């Protein structure tokens, strides 16, 4: 029997991408033949980085992972997944709040588009982190260096300096 080729999408706004996201990506590449990190429009008014900037940052971080690509999209996530031929969606779970929300989303995605969702529990050290929380702590001057890839942390500091001086 021929081996199945499984392409998955890992969607998010990734504003900014965190060590928790990278943890999920590293686990995901063990499960899928191809993984697309799909960078969606941020629904937040005060986004830290543009969609194009987020794509570029992530591309740098996964440059050594040939089975991972990074793309942006602006439609419904399930429409995007179908357009690239993905049969699965990868999602990270941090806590029970995520489970409730993600379960409902996964059921809807399967009913509407026939796409399966694969959940990966994040590592314990990232169970409390979110891009939103990290963005807020950083804006208030907190040190979020342990929660972000080093190159992303440097860009966050630089962006906050630029925003503060303007």
Which one from 21, 54, 91, 155 is the annotated catalytic residue?
21
Which one from 4, 30, 45, 164 is the annotated catalytic residue?
45
Domains of the chain, residue spans = 7-128
What is the Cα–Cα distance from 96 to 112, expressed in whole angstroms?
Answer: 24
Decide if 41 is catalytic.
no
pLDDT the model gives residue 14: 95
> What is the DSSP secondary-structure string of 50-101?
-HHHHHHHHHHHTTT-TTEEEEEE-S-HHHHHHHTT--EEEEEE-SHHHHHH
Match domain 7-128 to its CATH number in 3.40.190.10, 3.20.20.70, 3.40.50.620, 1.10.3720.10.
Answer: 3.40.50.620
Residue-wise pLDDT tens for the chain (166 aa)? 767 789 999 999 999 999 999 999 999 999 999 999 999 987 766 789 999 999 999 999 999 999 999 999 999 999 999 999 999 999 998 877 778 888 888 999 899 888 999 999 888 888 788 888 899 999 999 999 999 999 999 999 999 888 776 6
Angle at which helices 150-165 and 51-61 pack, to 10 degrees?
A: 150
What is the Cα–Cα distance from 128 to 143, expressed in whole angstroms?
Answer: 15
H or E element that contains 158: helix 150-165
pTM of the entire structure? 0.91
Rg (C-alpha) for the chain, rounded Å, is 16
Decide if 45 is catalytic.
yes
């Amino acid at each position: 029997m021929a081996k199945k080729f499984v392409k998955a999408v890992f969607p998010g706004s990734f504003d900014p991408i965190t060590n928790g996201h990278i943890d999920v990506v590293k686990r995901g590449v063990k499960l899928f033949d191809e993984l697309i990190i799909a960078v969606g429009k941020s629904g937040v008014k005060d986004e830290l980085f543009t969609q194009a900037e987020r794509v570029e940052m992530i591309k740098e971080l996964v440059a050594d992972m040939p089975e991972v690509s990074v793309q942006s999209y602006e439609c419904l996530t399930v429409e995007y997944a179908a357009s690239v031929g993905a049969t699965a969606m990868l999602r990270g779970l941090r806590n029970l709040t995520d489970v409730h929300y993600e379960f409902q989303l996964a059921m809807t995605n399967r009913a509407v588009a026939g796409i399966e969702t694969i959940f990966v529990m994040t590592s314990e050290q990232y169970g409390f982190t979110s891009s939103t929380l990290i963005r807020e702590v950083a804006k208030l001057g907190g040190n979020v260096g342990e929660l972000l890839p080093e190159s992303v942390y440097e860009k966050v500091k630089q962006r906050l300096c630029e925003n503060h001086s303007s």
